């Protein structure tokens, strides 16, 4: 499909034989069903960045953000890893002292079982180290 011989239209397949011309102004993000996870960070009309996010993106971290950054950097340096895995990140968070003491504010669906634990629960990331501490 072309408008003239020199400018063919760019077409994006949508599945099931449908094609949309990207230049007509249809935003593919508008075609997707909105997620209700409480994790959306895209801004739109009336949606502003929280102070928590805005200050960090402008280079002014609070104590918590800075401590987390230092912990990640120390982990990368000590373990010679440029990119920690998500399991590594969770281990760092647990070792910083974070525990799941409240119900989640996220809506992750039926497959995600929520739980809570005591504030003084062990990190549970290294069994040998925890046995030595007891």
pTM given for the model: 0.59
Burial 60-98 (b: 16+ CB within 10 A, else e): eeeeeeeebeeebeebeeeeeeeeeeeebeebbbbeeee
Q: Which of 27-31, 55-59, 115-119, 124-128 has the lowest mean pLDDT?
A: 27-31
Q: Domain ranges in the chain?
A: 10-133
Q: Does residue 2 surpass a pLDDT of 50?
A: no
Model confidence pLDDT, tens digit, residues 21-73: 667 766 666 666 656 776 666 656 656 777 777 777 777 888 998 999 999 99
| Cα 84 from Cα 76, distance rounded (Å) | 7
CA–CA distance, 104 with 111 (Å, rounded to integer): 14
């Amino acid at each position: 499909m072309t408008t003239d011989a020199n400018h063919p239209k760019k077409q994006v397949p949508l599945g099931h034989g449908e094609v949309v011309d990207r230049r007509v102004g249809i935003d593919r993000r508008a075609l997707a069903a909105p997620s209700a996870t409480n994790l959306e960070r895209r801004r739109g009309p009336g949606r502003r960045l929280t102070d928590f996010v805005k200050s960090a993106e402008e280079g002014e971290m609070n104590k918590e953000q800075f401590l987390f950054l230092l912990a990640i950097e120390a982990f990368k340096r000590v373990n010679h890893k440029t990119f920690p895995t998500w399991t590594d990140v969770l281990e760092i968070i647990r070792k910083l002292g974070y525990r799941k003491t409240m119900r989640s504010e996220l809506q992750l669906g039926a497959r995600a079982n929520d739980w809570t634990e005591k504030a003084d629960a062990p990190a549970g990331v290294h069994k040998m180290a925890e046995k030595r501490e007891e």
